[in-house]
């Protein structure tokens, strides 16, 4: 059994702590939180911009057929949990149905931001200064480059997602920064990501990388061979690379998560809930760091972390950080 009460003073700097403060109110759509983030301000030539996702703005360029606003998308639904504005009625309706099953879903989403940040900073402690964040989601003040650059402003990040709104929200937020890149691609096609032009502009795969995969693999069914895909990523990365992974689970909360899975079956990404053993199978060949595969709030919490007050076994999420 891993060390469930392990505490750790991750080197979360003042700036990153600031992001933590603003994240509760933060959204990409506009106003104080977005402007409070140091790297989020650049104007974009994109047809989309951060502000267009404020759907109170009458003039924003709608492309409903491509965006698919009539059906909930997991990226946009997750954005509602974080208090964002990059979402539509279908997403918000869906999020309300989720909250009826998991009333603390917003608290858990914010706890998840902090957990991923702890994982990224541990990856940086191992020396990596470049990050590939796959299934990155919609841009927020918690986006990975904000976390990493609070520690080292030279960090490079390639963001990858297969959802249009997520990709365009990131593109708008990183314009004019040649150390940041974004790619619309599917995690199930590792070579399309690893050998992409976008990756080649930002990432040197001869050097260690932090591979962030937050709340991603539960959208990949066993029939797609997630363990084989993760192995492909592992063998492509330089020695010393670090994987930061979180994954939804029903363990500890079986009834609620069965209802949640029924809801997600209606989205573009049904949920595949895996237990600790199944996640360990996915990570075969990786060197899993202490404290192992544990409920997300228990993964090296800071001693002053608000998430220490959460009932860890009801967090519905396992976390692991591993080395190649």
**For binding to ligand SAM (CB under 6 A), which residues are involved?**
74-75, 78, 112, 116, 135-137, 161-163, 166, 186-188, 214-216, 219, 269
Which of 224, 234, 232, 239 minimizes the C-alpha distance to 286? Answer: 234
Closest to ligand SAM by CB, 184 or 207: 184
Closest to ligand SAM by CB, 183 or 303: 183
Closest to ligand SAM by CB, 135 or 173: 135
Closest approach of Cβ 294 to ligand SAM, in Å?
17
Closest approach of Cβ 163 to ligand SAM, in Å?
3
| Token digits of residue 54 | 């404020």
Q: Rounded to whole angstroms, how far apart are CA atoms 133 and 157?
A: 7
Closest approach of Cβ 239 to ligand SAM, in Å?
25
Closest to ligand SAM by CB, 91 or 161: 161
Q: Rounded to whole angstroms, how far apart are CA atoms 161 and 219?
A: 12
Closest approach of Cβ 112 to ligand SAM, in Å?
6
| 130-134/180-184 β-pairing | unpaired
Q: Rounded to whole angstroms, how far apart are CA atoms 241 and 34?
A: 31
CB atoms within 10 A of CB 39: 15
Closest approach of Cβ 156 to ligand SAM, in Å?
18
Closest to ligand SAM by CB, 113 or 124: 113
Closest approach of Cβ 267 to ligand SAM, in Å?
10
Closest to ligand SAM by CB, 132 or 202: 132
Closest to ligand SAM by CB, 189 or 254: 189
Closest approach of Cβ 212 to ligand SAM, in Å?
7
The radius of gyration of the chain from alpha carbons, rounded to an integer in Å, stands at 18
Closest to ligand SAM by CB, 43 or 71: 71
Alpha helices in the chain (DSSP H): 14-23, 32-36, 64-67, 74-81, 89-101, 105-125, 144-149, 164-174, 190-194, 197-202, 226-236, 254-264, 276-282
Alpha helices in 102-237 (DSSP H): 105-125, 144-149, 164-174, 190-194, 197-202, 226-236
Dihedral angle sign, alpha carbons of residues 35, 39, 43, 46? negative
Closest approach of Cβ 214 to ligand SAM, in Å?
3
Which of 308, 214, 215, 315 minimizes the C-alpha distance to 256? Answer: 315
């Amino acid at each position: 059994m891993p060390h469930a009460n392990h505490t750790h003073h991750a080197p979360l700097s003042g700036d990153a702590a600031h992001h933590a403060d603003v994240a509760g109110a933060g959204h990409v759509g506009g106003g104080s939180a977005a402007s409070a983030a140091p790297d989020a301000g650049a104007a974009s030539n994109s047809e989309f911009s951060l502000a267009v996702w404020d759907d109170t703005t009458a003039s924003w360029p709608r492309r409903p057929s491509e965006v698919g606003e009539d059906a909930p998308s997991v990226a946009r639904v997750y954005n509602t949990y974080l208090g964002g504005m990059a979402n539509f009625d279908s997403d918000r309706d869906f999020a309300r149905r989720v909250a009826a099953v998991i009333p603390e879903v917003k608290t858990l989403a914010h706890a998840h931001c902090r957990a991923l940040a702890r994982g990224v900073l541990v990856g940086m402690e191992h020396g990596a200064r470049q990050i590939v964040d796959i299934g990155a989601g919609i841009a927020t003040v918690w986006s990975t480059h904000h976390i990493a650059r609070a520690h080292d402003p030279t960090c490079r990040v390639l963001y990858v997602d297969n959802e249009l709104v997520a990709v365009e929200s990131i593109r708008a937020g990183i314009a004019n920064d040649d150390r940041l890149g974004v790619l619309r691609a599917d995690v199930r096609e590792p070579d399309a990501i690893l050998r992409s032009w976008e990756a080649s502009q930002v990432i040197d795969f001869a050097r260690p990388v932090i591979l962030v995969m937050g709340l991603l693999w539960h959208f990949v069914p066993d029939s797609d061979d997630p363990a084989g895909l993760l192995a492909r990523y592992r063998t492509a990365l330089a020695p010393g690379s670090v994987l930061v992974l979180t994954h939804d689970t029903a363990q500890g909360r079986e009834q609620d998560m069965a209802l949640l899975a029924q809801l997600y079956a209606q989205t573009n990404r049904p949920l595949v809930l895996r237990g600790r053993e199944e996640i360990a199978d996915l990570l075969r060949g990786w060197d899993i760091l202490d404290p192992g595969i544990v409920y997300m709030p228990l993964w090296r919490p800071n001693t002053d972390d608000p998430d220490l007050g959460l009932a860890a076994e009801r967090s519905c999420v396992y976390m692991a950080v591993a080395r190649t």
